[in-house]
Chains A and B, each alone.
Chain A
Amino acid sequence: MNPVNKSSENDFLNLLTEAGIVIRTASPLVWQIEAEHWRTFAELAMLHHYRWVAGWVEENPPQSPFIKGEENDSSQSLFLKEEATKDSPPLQRGGVGIFMVNACFEKNGTYLVLRTTVNLNHPVLPSQATVYPAANRSERHSHDMFGITFTDHPDPRRWTRHQAWGKQDFPLRKDFPLQGSPPAITPPDRHYDFIKGYGEGVYEIPVGPIHAGIIEPAHFRFQAVGELILNLEERLGYVHKGIEKLAEGKTAQELIRLAGRVSGDTTVGHSWAACMAMEHAAGITPPPRASLLRAVLAERERIANHLGDMGAICNDVAFSFAFMQFSRLRESWLRHNARLFGHRLLMDKLVTGGVACDVSPSDCALMTQEIAALREELADIITAVDLNTSLEDRLYTAGYLSKQTAAAFGTLGYVGRASGQAFDVRRDAPYAPYQQLNFNVPIETQGDIASRFWIRAKEINVSLKLLEQLLTHLSDDTISADLVTAWQTPAVGSEGLGCVEGWRGEIVVYIRFGENNQIARYYPRDPSQHNWLALEKIVLNNIVPDFPVCNKSVNPSYSGTDL
């Protein structure tokens, strides 16, 4: 465990005891409580500044009395030491199935999984979304997929479900077959109860699911007066592909391929988080060289996406010079990806226990040249961009996200860091190889589109420095040349949590194994899930024509959210 402030943790435990909440601990960072205390716990956690990270559900999970993790490395332990407890909680009550509901919290870099069980025939649980807005859509997703009712939920409308399956069908339940029984043509989701705007001059703009550009589908419903946006409601779920259901029964290696396609732009990030979760479950550690290479891939992914985004933000305010320059740099970066690793977007380079690629000394030299060249190019372009008043005019003060709102939604990554939210998994809950690297996490407090632009520029600089350090380590002859640690089939019911800093921010993945190396549950939480909530606030009081640039400054993943 991280050296969390012990006394504050004890305060928290005392507070819980006072509230009558009994924690049946399966391991120090997995706390099981009674369902009735679900919301009370959230209220107390909020008081103690815990951040709500993710929520997921399992039906009758295969039993494991403990969660495995890396125990040797104190700074590493996102998850736990191997500690079997004899009085693990009864899962089957009187032969009736259960749902195990999980909520992950984080404080000072320590992740805590809170769990409870509810009866399968009467799955009701107090909502945590009344306390943590970040839990809102996650609970609605759990309702649509498992049929769990979260009482007093502030917004009980359906979320992931459109019209492809019925109100009483729950795709992630075990009795729901992967093929389901969908209609020949799934009708459009016509009767979703959007918020209405009233008053003189208030009108609505429905946008999507298919947009005017080359972009993922979703529906946006604006209420506006003149050009001013009064309200925006997002309606996602259009690219729901059944990823969680598809994952069930896959082998560890097959899962990585799927994880790499949760969100195509974050293929390294999601694969890494999935690998980390599975490696924790299996109790293996990838060799040092593999960790270094994973970080090289992750930082290259970050740079490629930031370059693309910076260009696209400029394009959305019609500043083509920067768009062309940044997209040129991105293309040249991707071509190097193809040359060095065999894939422009770096798909399928991670394997269980390691990586499926390596770099030679000449590759390292090539990357060093590339880094120098990119720095030189950026110096020219950034200066030209910085001095451009018309760009300044469009980006400064537009799309403002206050520090308070960002914190309330648990906003992550560059969106959070542009509004004063400093959290970065690489630094605050470090995993190999980031403990051995020196870097800082840039932060901005202005909270506007310009901040989200400049934070990306700063993050590119940090990533370039990280790449240089990684290359130095990779050139070190004393490091073993091993790229893969042999996979060990995890025990039935073993589980693991993977947390990495993807280019959009913290990615959290939960995995539980069933029999024969098969995945029983896979839940990936992309940072976009939280950042979408922030976008609804970012656009308020902006003009409708600025929505695209507001959206691009956040660039949330649709696919990674809809799953």
Chain B
Amino acid sequence: MLRLFSKIIKTGVVSESIPVVQDDELEALGIELKNQISKKFSGSIAIRQVDAGSCNGCELEIHALNNPYYAIERFGIHFVASPRHADVLLVTGVVSRHMQTALLRVYEATPNPKWVIAAGDCATCGGEFGVSYASCGAVANVIPVDLKIAGCPPTPLALVQGLLALC
């Protein structure tokens, strides 16, 4: 147990000490984001992430938002388990036809007011997979999209920037 604590102490808080050079932008963005979110969402934004047909690349980068470098929860942004708890749907991937109804139902289940963010090239414009017998293409072909974050996959920083644009 002592080793564990000593490692924690040795590691320190990377979310604050690292950004000095590389992540100052993130820090500024995050704080600005917090202000924006406070105005519209009373200090919290609940995101339900939906993989509608992604290759899993975008999910890896969304996961990264929760690592200690980005620690996105400190800005009042958190991921929730149900669309019924969500303000924002963060949708990745083309919408595979087999996921079309599921996505429509998730959209219906999300209470108003709600926003939809399409994250990644597939979700924003169809990317590598486009429209076919198996794919509906971009998310906007299935549900209304409020914001698009490009990238294959978008970096965690791009995702934070995108969230800022929403507010």
Contacts and interface: CB of A to CB of B under 8 A. Distances in A.
Contacts, number: 177
Given A245-B133, A380-B10, A239 B53 contact: yes
B53 A381 contact: no
A383 interface: yes
Interface in A153-183: 162-165, 171, 176-182
| A-side interface size class | 35 or more
Contact of B79 (A178, A214, A559): A214
A215 B59 contact: yes
Given A214-B49, A264-B57, A162 B98 contact: yes
Given A185-B101, A239-B93, A383-B3, A264 B58 contact: yes
A176 B133 contact: yes
B32 interface: no
Contacts of A189: 98
B102 A387 contact: no
Given A238-B99, A264-B55, A308 B60 contact: yes
Interface string B56-95: 1111111110111110000000010110000000000110
Given A308-B63, A328-B11, A246 B129 contact: yes
A188 B100 CA distance: 8
Contact of B67 (A239, A331, A383): A331
A243 B10 CA distance: 47
B51 A215 contact: yes
A181 B133 CA distance: 7
Grouping DSSP codes into helix (H, G, I), strand (E, B) and loop, the B interface class, with mixed when no group exceeds half, is mixed
A88 interface: no
Contacts of B99: 209, 217, 238-239
A49 interface: no
Contacts of A180: 132-134
Contact of B57 (A347, A381, A388, A562): A347
A238 B14 contact: no
Interface in B117-144: 127-135
A187 B101 contact: yes
| B-side interface size class | 35 or more
B55 A217 contact: no
Interface stretch (A21-29, A255-263, A450-458, A482-490): A255-263
Contact of A258 (B14, B49, B59, B128): B128
Interface string A41-55: 000000000000000
Contacts of A240: 96-98, 134
Nearest to A339: B22
A144 to B, nearest CB: 12
A316 to B, nearest CB: 13
A262 B55 CA distance: 6
Interface of B: 1, 3-4, 7-8, 10-11, 14, 22, 49-64, 66-70, 79, 81-82, 93-94, 96-102, 104, 106, 127-135, 152-153, 155
8 contacts: A177-B133, A213-B81, A241-B132, A261-B127, A261-B128, A264-B57, A345-B60, A559-B54
Interface of A: 162-165, 171, 176-182, 185-189, 209-210, 212-217, 237-243, 245-246, 257-258, 261-265, 267, 308, 321, 324-325, 327-328, 330-332, 334-335, 338, 344-345, 347, 380-381, 383-384, 387-388, 557-559, 562
The 5 closest A-B pairs by CB, nearest first: A180-B133, A264-B57, A242-B134, A164-B97, A212-B81
